[in-house]
Amino acid sequence: MFDKILIANRGEIACRVIKTARKMGIKTVSVYSDADRNAVHTDMADEKVHIGGSASAQSYLVIERIVEACKRTGAQAVHPGYGFLSENKAFQIALAKEGIAFIGPDALAIQAMGDKIESKKLAAKAGVSTVPGYMGVIKDAEEAARIASEIGFPVMIKASAGGGGKGMRVAWSVEEAREGFVSATNEAKSSFGDDRVFIEKFIEQPRHIEIQILADGETYLYVNERECSIQRRNQKVVEEAPSPFLTPEVRKAMGEQAVALAKVVDYKSAGTIEFIVDAARNFYFLEMNTRLQVEHPVTEMITGLDLVEWMIRIAAGEKLTLRQEDIGIDGWAMECRIYAEDPYRNFLPSIGRLVQYAPPEEIEGQVRVDTGVENGGEISMYYDPMIAKLVTHGADRAEAIHRMRNALDAFLIRGVAHNIPFLASLLSRERFVEGRLTTNFIAEEYANGFNASDLPPEDPSILIAVAATVHQKGSDRNANITGQIMGHEKKLKHDWVVRLNGTNHLVNVRSIDGGHEVVLEHGPVNVYHDWKFGHSLFRCVIDGREVCVQIEREGVGYRLHHAGTQASALVLTPETAHYASLMLKKEPPDMSLYLLSPMPGLLVSLAVEEGHEVKAGETLAVIEAMKMENILKAQHDGVIAKVHSKPGDSLSVDQKILEFAP
C-alpha cells in the first residue's frame, strides 16, 4: 500500500479523497493555485505545494508542475479526482515515466474510453447500441451546421474531451448549430485544452442513467445504477440511486453490457458507463467516464462501499474481494448539488465571500455533506461554482426526499446567491415525487424560468409564528433589562402585527412550557423550541411538525428562509403598524435602457458599437464566468447610445455594459 498520495484536484473532491486516505493511514499532499492559497483542501492535507496562477491552465492543468510536486514530496501515487487531468492520458504517461502510480485506469483505457469520439467508435465495433451521429473532426461552424442538418435537428454538440456539462450545446436550427459550435469549442479549449467536438442526434424525452463499475483487470463488477436525468444546461443537478425507472432485468442487462465494454480495454479502477434510456427502456451507450463521478456518494450510500478506497487499493495492485452477488441495494439515496448561482437570474454564477456557511449536521447513514469550502471562504470566478454535495439516505425514495428537504432547510449560506430555493421547489414537484423524470424535466417544469411562484406552497403561518416568537423573546428580554417586568407584567406587550412580505397579520404571543403559544387569525399554534439569541437556525416543533427556519436580523425586522422561500418580516405594535401603512414607498430607478451584467465575470467580446442599430435576438456581448460562456442578446429592437464597458473588463453584477437610446 502507498505511504503517501497526492491529490491533483481542489475543492470538495480533494477533501473527499483526503478523508479516505486518512482512514487508510495514508499521508496526503494537496496542490493549490493562487486563488486556492487559503482553501480548505490546501490545509486539510499533510503537505501542500503551490503549483501556479489562479486560472486552471496555469495550475491544475499543468502536468509538469504536478509531477514535480510528487517528486518534491515523495508522493508515490496521484488521485486525479474528476475534471482537470482526470481523463488525460498524457498525465498518466508522465506519471508512469517517473514511477508514480495513477489512481485510475491506464493510458490505453483513458485514450479509448475517455475520448467521446473514440469510445463511441469502439462501442459500435463491440456491438453496443449507440446514438446516431458524426464522429469525425469538424473544422468550422459552417461544416458543423451542414453536418447537423444532415443528421436532423435537434442535435447535441459535445466536446470530445468534455465532462460536467462543459462544451455542450443543443441546437434546434442551422443558426444555433453555428453558435453552438463556436461556444462549445471555446469552452472545451478553456476547460480541457482540447477544442474537438462531435455532433450526435439529440434524443427527445430521454432518461440519463449510468452504471458504476469496479474492475481490477480480472474481476469486473457493476455496482448498480444512478439516475441522473435532472439536468440543467446538460449539468446534473439531482442524482439518485437506484433509478425509479429500471426493472431488475434492465438493470442486469445494462450492467452486463457496461462490464463487457470495460473488458474490451482491460479496465482497472472505478469507472462509469453512461446510457440514454428511452420511454420503452431501450438503452444506448452515451460515453464512459474513466474516473470517479461527482455523484458517486449515492452509490456508496446504498452499497456501503467506499469507491475511493477501492480505487486506491486497485492502483496499489490489490485484487477485488467482492463478487457480483455481494453487490446489493440498501434503501435509497439522493444527492443535490449546491451551487453558487442565482436561480432568480437564470442560474447565473455568483461569486464572492461566504459571509456565513454552515451545512446541516451529518448523520451516519442519513445525511452526508461533501464540501470544500468553509465559513469566510471565497467562491472564485476561476472554477466550477459548486459549493457542496448534499446526500441523504432513507429506507425508500420517499424518506430520502423527506430527509433531503429537511437538510436543505438547515443549509445556511450567506454572502453569495445559491440554488437551494430551486432545489426545494424541484423536490416538491408532483412529477419528481412520482419519479416521472427525463433530461427535459427542468426545461418543461420551468418553461418560463424559475421565480418565486415556483416555490412549494407552504403555510405562511409557520413564518408568522416563528417571527412572532422570536420577537416576543426579544421583547421579554428587553423588559427584563429595563425592569418593566418587576411587578408591572401588564406593561409587557403580547399583541403584535407581523408584516410578512407586505401583508399584515395580527397575533398574540404568550409563553408556555417549552416554548410559546401564538394565536393567529385561524386559531392558536404551539411553537416548542429551545432557540437562543444569535442562532441562525430556529428549530422547533409546530403542532407536532418538525420545522427548521433560518432567521437573521434585517434592520429592525427579520429575514426568514424556509422550504426555499425567503420572506421579510417586520413585527410591530398595532399602533405602529397603522402608521407604517401610511408611509410612502420609494420607486426604484428605471434601468430598462441599459444592458447590465447579470453576473460577475470577464467581458470577452462586444458585438456592437455606439450608433449601431440592433434587432431583437441579436448578440450584444459575451461574458465568461466559471469556465462558461454566456451570450447576451437584445430583447428588442433599438440603437446603442453609449458603450460603458470594453472587452477585457472584469464586470460586477448589474454593472452597465451598454446603454440604449430612449
Which position among 87, 240, 274, 287 bears the catalytic label?
287
Is 287 designated active site? yes
Q: How far is Cα 59 from Cα 50, in angstroms, rounded to an integer?
A: 9
Tell which phi-psi region holds residue 441, choosing left (phi > 0), alpha (psi between -120 and 50) or beta. Answer: alpha
Q: How far is Cα 106 from Cα 89, in angstroms, rounded to an integer?
A: 8
Instruction: Judge contact between 98 and 70, C-beta under 8 A.
Output: yes
Q: List the one residue out of 212, 395, 195 whose CA is nearest residue 294.
A: 212
Q: Which amino acid is at 655?
A: Q
Q: Which set of grid coordinates corresponds to residue 181? A: 459550435
Q: List the one residue out of 566, 553, 394 whose CA is nearest residue 471.
A: 553
DSSP bridge partners of 32: 50
DSSP bridge partners of 542: 527, 545
Give residue 628's Cα distance to chain centre: 14
Q: How many CB atoms lie within 10 A of CB 486?
A: 9
Q: How far is Cα 192 from Cα 185, in angstroms, rounded to an integer?
A: 10
Q: List the one residue out of 96, 205, 197 whose CA is nearest residue 441.
A: 205
Q: Which set of grid coordinates corresponds to residue 542? A: 409546530
Q: How far is Cα 227 from Cα 295, in angstroms, rounded to an integer?
A: 10
H or E stretch at 427: helix 420-428
DSSP bridge partners of 199: 134, 157
Q: How far is Cα 274 from Cα 261, in angstroms, rounded to an integer?
A: 12
Helices (H), 58-173: 63-73, 89-97, 107-109, 116-125, 141-151
Q: How far is Cα 560 from Cα 547, in angstroms, rounded to an integer?
A: 13
φ/ψ (deg, to 5) at 375: -55, 130
User: Which sign does the torsion angle of CA 282, 288, 294, 300 carry?
Assistant: positive
CB-neighbour burial class of residue 55 (10 A; exposed 0-12, middle 13-18, buried 19+)? middle
Instruction: Judge contact between 278 and 206, C-beta under 8 A.
Output: yes
Q: How far is Cα 65 from Cα 55, in angstroms, rounded to an integer?
A: 14
* DSSP classification of residue 311: H
Beta strand residue intervals within 278-316, DSSP E? 283-289
The three-state secondary structure class of 378 is strand
Q: Which set of grid coordinates corresponds to residue 124? A: 459500435
- DSSP letters, 227-286, are EEEEEETTEEEEEEES-SS--HHHHHHHHHHHHHHHHHTT-EEEEEEEEEE-TT--EEEE
Point out the residues that are catalytic. Answer: 287
